[in-house]
Amino acid sequence: MAKEINSIGVLSSGGDAPGMNAAIRAVVRAGNHYGKKVFGIYEGYQGMIENQILELNARSVKGILNRGGTILKSSRSEEFKTKEGRKKAYDNIISRGIDALVLIGGNGTFTGGMYFSEEYDIPVLGLPGTIDNDLSGTDFTIGFDTACNVVTDCVDKIRDTAESHNRLFFVEVMGRDSGFIGLRAGLASGALDVVLPEEEQPMEDLFQELERGASNNKTNRIILVSEGNKMGSIYEIAEAVKERYPQWESKITILGHLQRGGSPTCTDRVISSRLGVAAVEALIEGRHGEAIGIVNNQLKFTPFEEAIRSKAKIDMELNRILKILAT
């Protein structure tokens, strides 16, 4: 028989993402709806080790639906990677009567939760929270849509000055290992080209795209560069272009952590709310050791081991469409 759940702990771990607060709110209010106590664990796994745990209720999460970041804070914990650290964490949650966990984060968060659940037989479920959208088992992760909207808005503003001065702009976006943000925002903002981590793109290909834009009398050219691309740093790429085309004035903009901030979009609020309620209901039903996502608008449960091992694949069809429309 499934273990009866009376008290649920919720935490956020790893990089923050817009929509995490909406997920926390959903877990707390759904838990209370079903007569369960819900505890917020502050500072991620490190907070579990240091006993930074506080009971939450519906009023505790009032007014956070539209807030970016995470009210529970987030951190990375080296100590939790050790058995001794996980034992401290276990002792603390047991002392509070917590008998299940909901984790909001990415692969590292899920990995920690998988080990913890296996060692101490604690039901654990994970919600995919990362702006990178690189987790398998879900079409979109919490925070991805907001990040794409932030980038699109920034590029729209950059285009104003690019148009005014006939300039070439290189805009670096987050994406150390994946180009989801760069590709989606690049298509949405009408970028001339996107440099992605997923492909070995020769510099000559970029030159061809730039020349094609020039031949079509484009008065501004914007190139989105994912930070983890294989072509080189944004400075190296810009310098190579400058050497090849000294007549073009070019500028570099690095958006950085702007992409993690801001009020979550409607899409991210809805995704987070659905997943938070689903996590509580799944724990009550006896599910554990899984990440919960949404695929084709339906809930999907993926075992942690599979979710950690697999990586979401970028849709390169969007890149083909981008190049057609950039002419």
Tokens of 21: 């607060």
Domain CATH code at residue 55: 3.40.50.450
- Residue 181 belongs to some domain of the structure: yes
Model confidence pLDDT, tens digit, residues 247-272: 888 999 999 999 999 999 999 999 99
- Residue 165 belongs to some domain of the structure: yes
Place of tokens 């994912």: 226
Order of strands across the sheet that contains 100-105: 53-56, 37-41, 7-12, 100-105, 124-128, 290-295, 298-303
- Residue 317 belongs to some domain of the structure: no
Distances (CA, A) of 273 to 25, 53, 91, 270, 277: 8, 22, 30, 5, 6
- Residue 314 belongs to some domain of the structure: no
How far is Cα 25 from Cα 211, in angstroms, rounded to an integer?
50
Q: For 309-322, give one letter per residue: b (16+ CB within 10 A) or e.
A: eeebebeeebbeeb
Distance of CA 285 to the CA centre of its chain: 27
pLDDT of residue 54: 97
As a whole number, mean pLDDT of residues 196-224 equals 85
**Are residues 137 and 12 part of one domain?**
yes
Q: What's the helix, strand, coil split of the chain in %, to 5?
A: 45, 20, 35
How far is Cα 52 from Cα 40, in angstroms, rounded to an integer?
8
- Residue 231 belongs to some domain of the structure: yes
**Are residues 186 and 87 part of one domain?**
no
**Are residues 270 and 209 part of one domain?**
no
Tokens of 271: 């995704």
**β-bridge mates for residue 114, sequence order:** none
Give the model's confidence band at 193: pLDDT under 50 very low, under 70 low, under 90 confident, else very high.
Answer: very high
**Of the candidate ranges 91-95, 112-116, 200-204, the one whose mean pLDDT is the lowest:** 200-204
Total number of domains constituting the chain: 2
- Single residue among 244, 260, 276 that ends a domain in this structure: 260
**Are residues 220 and 127 part of one domain?**
no
**Are residues 171 and 87 part of one domain?**
no
High-pLDDT (> 70) share of the chain, %: 98
The count of other CB atoms within 10 Å of the CB of residue 85 is 18
pLDDT of residue 221: 86
- What's the pTM value of the predicted model, to 2 decimals? 0.94
Model confidence pLDDT, tens digit, residues 150-175: 999 999 999 998 888 888 999 999 99
**Are residues 304 and 281 part of one domain?**
yes
**Are residues 151 and 14 part of one domain?**
no
Q: Could you list the residue range(s) of the whole structural domain that residue 137 is in?
A: 7-143+264-309
- Residue 163 belongs to some domain of the structure: yes
The catalytic site residues sit at 132
**Are residues 84 and 38 part of one domain?**
yes
Give the model's confidence band at 219: pLDDT under 50 very low, under 70 low, under 90 confident, else very high.
Answer: low
High-pLDDT (> 90) share of the chain, %: 86
- Residue 320 belongs to some domain of the structure: no
**Are residues 106 and 124 part of one domain?**
yes
pLDDT of residue 70: 97
As a whole number, mean pLDDT of residues 101-120 equals 95
pLDDT of residue 164: 81
Contact indicator for 172, 295 with CB cutoff of 8 Å:
no
pLDDT of residue 216: 72
- Residue 1 belongs to some domain of the structure: no
Domain CATH code at residue 169: 3.40.50.460
Nearest-5° angle of CA 141, CA 15, CA 90?
100
